[in-house]
A and B are shown apart, each in its own frame.
Chain A
Amino acid sequence: AQTVTQSQPEMSVQEAETVTLSCTYDTSESDYYLFWYKQPPSRQMILVIRQEAYKQQNATENRFSVNFQKAAKSFSLKISDSQLGDAAMYFCAYAGNTGKLIFGQGTTLQVKP
């Protein structure tokens, strides 16, 4: 069975600086998608970025980018120029052949002004 692990329960970053959130996963599948979702205090899950495993190029969405290391089964999220509105819980998630999303336990990000 696939698993997703986020080893950092909490992280903090100074406003305008860069922070990296870690995620590792375990799977025997070769074709899958990986996602980062943001959950602000409202608790609605918002898609931040996604990565298709067959693509070698790392996904980027404005200030958000990933470092996808397929062989190492690592999928980290980098947030550049952090803003107060980035404060939230971030979840790494995996979708494989079943189409079901498997989530990590989340990382709470604090942004300090």
Chain B
Amino acid sequence: SQTIHQWPATLVQPVGSPLSLECTVEGTSNPNLYWYRQAAGRGLQLLFYSVGIGQISSEVPQNLSASRPQDRQFILSSKKLLLSDSGFYLCACRPPSRGLRETQYFGPGTRLLVL
């Protein structure tokens, strides 16, 4: 079964600073990968998803970008953070051998606070 790692676990950044959050996956190859954001006490919003290396789809226009430089690595970035970027960021994985509707598995998440 797959294991999803996210780094860092917690991050406090000043407004205007850059951001890089990393997600790595073990135990599966060529997974579909997803970035979600969760505001406090709210549901999850899909930000980006990727079906393969270099293939990124954006769901919501925003201050963030994503990249997939390796098969099992998914990175969320920003050049200049905004206060509204604060939240809890979750990476998810869906193994490729299963259908589109199959279960997504989540990493432990990163808490981002922009001050």
Give the A-B contact count at a CB cut-off of 8 A: 58
Assess whether A44 is in contact with B43, with CB atoms less than 8 Å apart. Answer: no
Min CB gap A57→B, angstroms: 17
Assess whether B109 is in contact with A105, with CB atoms less than 8 Å apart. Answer: no
Assess whether B101 is in contact with A103, with CB atoms less than 8 Å apart. Answer: no
Interface 1/0 per residue, A27-65 and B, CB below 8 Å: 000011101010000111111001010000000000000
With beta carbons under 8 angstroms apart, the residue of B38, B100, B106 that contacts A97 is B100
Name the interface size band of chain B.
20 to 34
Assess whether A100 is in contact with B46, with CB atoms less than 8 Å apart. Answer: yes
Assess whether B94 is in contact with A99, with CB atoms less than 8 Å apart. Answer: yes
Min CB gap A40→B, angstroms: 11
Bound: A103/B92 CA distance, A: 14
Assess whether A105 is in contact with B46, with CB atoms less than 8 Å apart. Answer: no
